Amino acid sequence: MNGVRSLIRRLRWIHLAPVVAFLALSAWAFASPVGAGPDDDYHLISTWCAVGGSPECQPGSEPGTRSMDAGFRDIICYAGKKDVSAECQTAALDAEGRYETDRGNFAGEYPPVYYATMHLFAGSDIQVSALTMRLVNAALFVALTTALFVLPPFTRRRTLLWGWLVAMIPLGIFLIPSNNPSGWAITGVGTAFLAVLGWFETEGRRRWALGALYLVGVVMAAGARGDAGVYVVGASVTASIIASARTREWALRAALPLAGIVIAVLFFVNAGQSGVGAIGFSGGTAVSPGAGSGDGTVSPGAPMSGFALAAYNLLMLPFLWTGVWGTWALGWFDTGLPAIVPWAAAAAFIVVAFAGLGRLDWRKAISVAGVLLVLVVLPVYVLTVGGMKVGEALQPRYLLPLILLLSLLLATMPPGREMRFTRIQTFAVLGALTLANLVSLQVNIRRYVTGADQQGVSLDAGAEWWWPNLPVGPTAVWVIGALAYAALLVVLWPQLRRSVSASSVPV
């Protein structure tokens, strides 16, 4: 009994952070039906067909096809139809028989690690399996970020918190607890940067634990998407620059990020996505909501090529970046968000970004400039080479890991400096994030429960679709998720406000 009382006395509010973070992410896991992420029909089939297949996935008549359980055939029956609820999926999942498809990772376009890992949870019940994968991804993210909060030096906690918070809403929090490998790309790049930075700055067991976390982040990112392999190289290089020193010890420690870079490059060159760097995107269609179109698509306008196309893409590039904060619709680009979401979420990022820019040394300046250069050159190049405009083929989720890296860099303070806001400023930033999460979560659930053509605060009224056997309804999931996210920011408040000189305060 005395031991229990002693444990209770040692508990702090911050110890609730992993719990409420998992609840907030879990709400997003339940906020959309199976297949709601972009290209999730492809990714789900690839998951069931990984590591030699499963009873639901058998060899097809040709090397590039598979014979699938009929439940996968029309799993995205609602995709691209914003006023159609996910009710149509009920009949689709109950379909009997088999069908043959070539839509899957059968030619090695994507690296195999994500699919092989998620295959461990693939069973005969598609819904239960997909939800389990989502919750596993949410738990993995929470576990990694919790370790990255505890293990690095106290001064890096604010880097972790501000960097993640202002880059997550709404696209990141939608993707991380999803069935899309982009979620692993985001988690892996952020983990790799923070872990290798801690590797250079700590000693003893913490250092080796952070080294192991770095390798986990590298494999997660590079093993999920080919482009994330490039981004994790950037994370390794920039963290090494931030921690650089003209010492033998730094040179010895640099062997770890060098090994991580080699791993990432090997994944990249063996992924079919690497060809995009040579030929760009081609054959794409308009995929995002654009100004003036009124129907959720980008108006193609007059054909362009050469310098005119490159100039157009350069001038329109911010529209691609801000898709991370909600200017692009979620899901299959059919869940449009109210303007308050991108305004609030982007404003929070801008406040933190300008505060970070005000505290530069040469190492941080080089790193930030390098990431910004890639954020400009890479999308403009691959779009222009493929004859595409911003709004076609290249999606914000492809750039989100890189934007997260920029966010973490901006929140990284040079020695002797710290990012401090007044109480009012902190409250304004966290309030904006809370509002953006509240609204985007409700809108996302609404789109699938009834379709976007119906509105109202209550998500239970007139519901056409919801998860079978789930003891709580859509309104309850929305309220729980919104409150959990708000509670997370409340328990993080002291960490965001505390001076770095208070490093001796227990957590």
Higher pLDDT, 252 or 500: 252
φ, ψ dihedrals at 361, nearest 5°: -120, 180
State the average pLDDT over residues 145-164. Answer: 93
pLDDT of 230 higher than 60: yes
Give the span between the Cα atoms of 87 and 33, in whole angstroms. 9
The residue to which tokens 């659930």 are assigned: 445
DSSP state of 35: T
pLDDT of 7 higher than 70: no
pLDDT of 22 higher than 80: yes
pLDDT of 379 higher than 80: yes
Predicted local distance difference test score (pLDDT) of residue 311 = 93
pLDDT band per the 50, 70, 90 thresholds, residue 298? very low
SS3 416: coil
State the average pLDDT over residues 103-114. Answer: 92
Burial class (CB in 10 A: 0-12, 13-18, 19+), 221: buried
395, 165, 15, 179: CA torsion to nearest 10: -10
pLDDT of 443 higher than 60: yes
Predicted local distance difference test score (pLDDT) of residue 283 = 39
Give the span between the Cα atoms of 70 and 416, in whole angstroms. 61
Predicted local distance difference test score (pLDDT) of residue 504 = 42
Give the span between the Cα atoms of 289 and 328, in whole angstroms. 6
Are 398 and 227 in contact, with CB atoms under 8 Å apart?
yes
SS3 106: coil
Amino acid sitting at position 229: G
φ, ψ dihedrals at 335, nearest 5°: -115, 80
266-294 per-position pLDDT tens digit: 999 887 665 444 444 443 444 444 333 33
> CB-hemisphere CA count at 13 Å for 200?
24
State the average pLDDT over residues 325-339. Answer: 95
Predicted local distance difference test score (pLDDT) of residue 417 = 80
Percentage of the chain beyond pLDDT 70 is 90
pLDDT of 470 higher than 70: yes
Cis ω on the peptide bond leading into residue 170 (within 30° of 0)?
Answer: yes
pLDDT of 73 higher than 70: yes
DSSP for 427-489? Answer: HHHHHHHHHHHHHHHHHHHHHHHT-TT---S-SSTT-----TT-SS-HHHHHHHHHHHHHHHH
Predicted local distance difference test score (pLDDT) of residue 1 = 56
Give the span between the Cα atoms of 168 and 433, in whole angstroms. 9
State the average pLDDT over residues 228-256. Answer: 94
175-224 per-position pLDDT tens digit: 999 999 999 999 999 999 999 999 999 999 999 999 999 999 999 999 99
State the average pLDDT over residues 40-61. Answer: 92
SS3 399: helix
pLDDT of 505 higher than 60: no
Higher pLDDT, 251 or 283: 251
Give the span between the Cα atoms of 332 and 39, in whole angstroms. 8
State the average pLDDT over residues 146-161. Answer: 93
Other C-beta atoms closer than 10 Å to the C-beta of 153 total: 14
Cβ contacts of residue 417 below 8 Å, gap of 6+? Answer: 359
Are 391 and 286 in contact, with CB atoms under 8 Å apart?
yes
φ, ψ dihedrals at 299, nearest 5°: -70, 125
Out of 82-86, 296-300, 489-493, pick the least confident: 296-300
Higher pLDDT, 305 or 94: 94
Are 105 and 46 in contact, with CB atoms under 8 Å apart?
yes
Q: Supply the mean pLDDT for the chain.
A: 89
E strands in 47-206: 57-59, 66-69, 98-101
Structure tokens at 141: 């993210």
Predicted local distance difference test score (pLDDT) of residue 284 = 40
Predicted local distance difference test score (pLDDT) of residue 499 = 66
